[in-house]
Every structure is written in C-alpha cells, then in structure tokens.
Structure 1
Amino acid sequence: MKRLQTAALALLFINSAAAAATSEWVETPGGDVRLVALPASDDGSVRAMLDIRLHDGWKTYWRDPGGSGIPPSIAVSGAELLSTGFPAPKRLGDEATHYIGYDKPVRLPLTLGKATGEAISATVFLGVCKDICIPVQAELTVDASGESFANPLEETAIAAAEASLPQGASDGFKPLDGRWAADGKSVTVRFAAPADGAMPDVFLSGTSGFEFGAAAPARREGEAFVAEVPVLHRPKVFDLAKDPILLTVRAGDRTMESPLAID
C-alpha cells in the first residue's frame, strides 16, 4: 500500500434521510455506511449502531489509528451520544507504514440518550483506504417518532455488533501495569493473556489528546506478556483517574479491553 495520506479527492458528503429505524445506505467508492436504531428502552435510551460496509480490499481506521489515518468522528443530533463501541482492531499496512483499523465490514455500537424530537441524525466523518484514502462525510437520519417494536433483523444486527466488542478484564486475561519511559515517548505495558497460539496484538487508546503508535511485537516475561507502545502525542495536562488509557488486546479469537494503570 502506498504511504497513507489523505488523497486530494473531493470530500463525499451525502444526505441520507429515511422515515424508519434504519437510514438509507450512503454509498462511496470504498464502502457504504448507514445508521440503525432500535425503539427506545423503558429508560428512554436508544441502542443503535453505525454500520460500515467496506468493499473488498478497502480498510478503515480505529479510534486511534496509530499516527497515520483519520479516526472516525460521529456527532449526533436529536439525542445525546452516550458511548461508541469499537471492536478490537488489527495492525495493518506494511513495514514502512503501520496503522490500526479494520479490513472487513465493521459495526460500531452506539448508546444514545432519550430522543428529543422525531428524528435522530448522525454526522459521520471517516476515512476509507485502498491505494488512496478517501475522506467520507455523511448525514444519516432515522425516524424516532413512533416505532414501539424492534425489527427483528435490526435487533439481531445490533446485538451482534455489541457481542463483537472486547470483553472486560478477567482472570488470566487482564492488564497488569504500565510504565512511562523516562523521556515519555513510549509506554511499557504488562498484561496477562492466554498463552496458546500466536503472540497477542496490543493497542492503546486514550482521551484528552493522547495519540499512540502501533505497538512493538509482544514478548513473554515470566508469566506475563510485555509490549512497548510509542507515544505520538502526550498532552501537558491530563487526569488518568478521570479519563484512563484503555488497553485492548487481541489473543487468538479472544479480545479484551480494560483501563490500564500507568506509573
């Protein structure tokens, strides 16, 4: 793949509105996107998802793409966006250019607050890449006014998206500790993970302006695994007690995500 830089290609901005709990697909050269939402639960919250249907050979980025790429951006109107879920990503690219993302269709579960009107809209900005990267912007709208019964296909799709998210920490698969390098340009991460199969893949992400690079290959040290993760940007002011850094690990067909304590 060529060096991943945003191509000087026209920004794709398409308005998609549908009087249903699923928006129309917004079609692009590299992939299609839609918004799916279920009827509000008893407390008024709404389970939803951003459905990204990548075309063969195309890729898109994780929430921290590793210094090269466009992290997905989702802004919601008509309801508060409470959380966005991301399945565990993959390390992509070549020896010269590493980045972090997805090379197959991916669904991002969303949790929304109570709808404030008859429609919920999501303004989405993401990058899809093959030999070039295309920035895609789409306005996706669903009707939130009257549906009281979930479409079984929509409910099944959102449940599958939620099930694809990493599990929380558990015995034998959990963060142990992290340590800043003396110059602050990397983090040494120690974690427990299943020992069968290939070495685990390690990813870090954070809020408050942190940016992390692609981790070096993990190695065994006693009963633990260790990996070095580059710090591409570390803000001058941050509060990890309030906004912790998340460790995401892929070990075979299992994935885990949990806050990482860093000394």
Structure 2
Amino acid sequence: MKRLQTAAIALLFLSSAASAATSPWVETPGGDVRLVVLPAETDGSARAMLDIRLHDGWKTYWRDPGGSGIPPSITVSGATLTSIGFPAPRRLGDEANHYIGYDAPVRLPMKLATAARGTVTATIFLGVCKDICIPVQAELTVEPGGDGFTNPLEETAIAAAEATLPGMAGDGFRPLDGHWSADGKTISVRFEAPADAAPTDVFLSGAPFEFGAAGPVRRDGNAFVADIPVLHRPKVFDLAKNPIQLTLRSGEKTMEAPLAVE
C-alpha cells in the first residue's frame, strides 16, 4: 500500500445533517460513514460513535497506520471530544507494503462532554483503500435533543461498539516492559499472553511517536517478546504524561494498556 501522498487519490468532501441522534449515511466509493450521538447525561457527557461501513474489499486505517497511510482524524463542534476508542486492528498488506487497520466495518466509540445537548457536528478525515486510497472528508451533524429520550437501536449500536474495544490488562495477558534499542530506532516489548492461543499481534501507538509493524513474536521464558520499529521519535517527550499504549490480539482476545518503557 503506497502512502497517500504518492497514490492516485480523489478527495471527497461531503456533509450531512439530521434532527435526530443519528446523521444520515454519507456514501463514498469505498464505504459509508455516519455519526451517532446519544442524549446528554445530567453531567453534560454523552456517548457517541463514528460508524464506518466499509464496502467489500476496502480497508481503512488504525490510529497509527504503521508507516503507510494516515490515521483517522475526528474533530467535534457543539461538544468537547474527550476520548475515541479503537478496536484492536490487524496487520494488512504484504511484507513490502504493510499497514495497520481494518478490513471490515468498524465502529469507533467516543465520549463527549460539555454542551452536548444541542447540535453536534463531527468533521472527519480518513483514508479508505482498495486498489487506490481515497481520503474522505465529511461533516456529520446530529441533534441529540435535550429531552433525555434514547433510541434503543442507537443505544444498542453504541453499546456493541464499546464491547469491541480491547479489554484491560490482567493476569496472563498484560504488558511487562519495553526497552529502547541503542540507536532508539526499535522498542523490544515483553508481555504475557495466553500460551495456547493463536500467534499474537502486537501494536504500539502514542502520538507524536509513529511505529511500524512488529516483528515475529518469540518466547522469553514465561513471557513473549516482539521488536517494533520506531518510525518517528520526537526530540522531546514525556512518557509519564503521555505513555505509549500496547495493544495485543491473541486469538479472539484483545488487550490494551500503557507500556512502561525503559
């Protein structure tokens, strides 16, 4: 998969609006997108999601694409976006042109705060790829309303999206530590994972860092180790304030937690 800067691309800018908690679908050649926002809670917070309905054969990127492509960008007006959740991704492409993302429809749960009772607009920018990559820009607008009524279908959809997020670290499935290589171009990650599951996928993320696809997972006593390329390392960073996140997939189980890097 070539970088978007060098691929044959078309830019789509689309908008939608609805007086409901769900925007209309915005249709693109590679997939359709919509915004769902539930009514605000008493504290002003609200649950929401970006629904990406990929067409057959099309793919989109994770928050760190792994050296090829662009991560999805979401900005919100009418509310404060406090968090975006990403299901565990998959390594896609081939050895020569690999990237990290999704090859099936994906929903990104969001948390909103403050002023989420009126109109909410999400401006999104993401890449969808097949033979070419198409950067899609869209404005999605909803009116969640202030009467507290929640559409059961919308609530069920967001709950299902939240259920796809990686679980927390626990005994037998957790990060242990990470170590920089001497030149700072690689992190060796040690972790625990179920020994009887399928080979584990390992991903790192944490802006402004950029990471590549992990090398083969190997045994280290009772733990596992994988080496992950560091494609971009900022001159100044504070891992205590903004830790690197380790995401693991082992069979059908997924986990995500901060990684202590020495």
TM-score by length of 1: 0.97
Per the TM alignment, residue 70 of structure 1 is displaced from its structure 2 partner at its CA by 1.1
Q: Do the aligned partners of 2:44 and 2:116 also contact (CA within 8 Å) in 1?
A: no
| 1:83 to 1:244, Cα distance in 2 relative to 1, 3 A | same
Amino acid at match of 2:244: I
Aligned length: 261
Q: Find the aligned partners of 2:10 and 2:158 in 1 and give their Cα distance.
A: 32
Q: Find the aligned partners of 1:79 and 1:183 in 2 and give their Cα distance.
A: 43
Map of 2:225 onto structure 1: 226
Q: Find the aligned partners of 1:65 and 1:147 in 2 and give their Cα distance.
A: 40
Q: Find the aligned partners of 1:37 and 1:145 in 2 and give their Cα distance.
A: 10
Q: Do the aligned partners of 1:199 and 1:219 also contact (CA within 8 Å) in 2?
A: no
Map of 2:239 onto structure 1: 240
After TM superposition, the structure 1 = structure 2 runs for residues 1-263 of structure 1, keeping only pairs within 5 Å, are 3-6=2-5, 7-115=7-115, 118-207=118-207, 209-263=208-262
Q: Do the aligned partners of 1:4 and 1:97 also contact (CA within 8 Å) in 2?
A: no
| 1:116 to 1:174, Cα distance in 2 relative to 1, 3 A | closer
Q: Find the aligned partners of 1:249 and 1:117 in 2 and give their Cα distance.
A: 36
Q: Do the aligned partners of 1:4 and 1:132 also contact (CA within 8 Å) in 2?
A: no
Per the TM alignment, residue 220 of structure 1 is displaced from its structure 2 partner at its CA by 1.1
Per the TM alignment, residue 42 of structure 1 is displaced from its structure 2 partner at its CA by 2.1
Query: Higher mean Cα deviation, 144-153 or 249-258?
Result: 144-153
Amino acid at match of 1:213: G
Amino acid at match of 2:239: L
Amino acid at match of 1:194: P
Q: Find the aligned partners of 1:168 and 1:117 in 2 and give their Cα distance.
A: 31
Query: Higher mean Cα deviation, 83-92 or 113-122?
Result: 113-122
Identity of aligned residues (%): 74
Q: Do the aligned partners of 1:211 and 1:234 also contact (CA within 8 Å) in 2?
A: yes
Amino acid at match of 1:104: A
Q: Find the aligned partners of 2:247 and 2:221 in 1 and give their Cα distance.
A: 21
Q: For each residue in 1:129-188, what CA deviation from the matched residue of structure 2 results, as whole angstroms up to 9, or x when unmatched?
A: 001100000000000333411111100000010010001110110000000000000000
Q: For each residue in 1:59-118, what CA deviation from the matched residue of structure 2 results, as whole angstroms up to 9, or x when unmatched?
A: 000000001011000000000000000000000001211100000000000000022662
Q: For each residue in 1:33-81, what CA deviation from the matched residue of structure 2 results, as whole angstroms up to 9, or x when unmatched?
A: 0000111112110100000000000000000000101100000000000
Amino acid at match of 1:218: V
Q: Find the aligned partners of 2:239 and 2:147 in 1 and give their Cα distance.
A: 41
Amino acid at match of 1:85: G
Q: Find the aligned partners of 2:126 and 2:114 in 1 and give their Cα distance.
A: 25
Give the aligned CA root-mean-square deviation in angstroms: 1.1
TM-score by length of 2: 0.97
Q: Do the aligned partners of 2:45 and 2:116 also contact (CA within 8 Å) in 1?
A: no
- Structure 1: give runs of 5+ residues left out of the alignment: none
Q: Do the aligned partners of 1:115 and 1:144 also contact (CA within 8 Å) in 2?
A: no
Q: Do the aligned partners of 1:169 and 1:257 also contact (CA within 8 Å) in 2?
A: yes
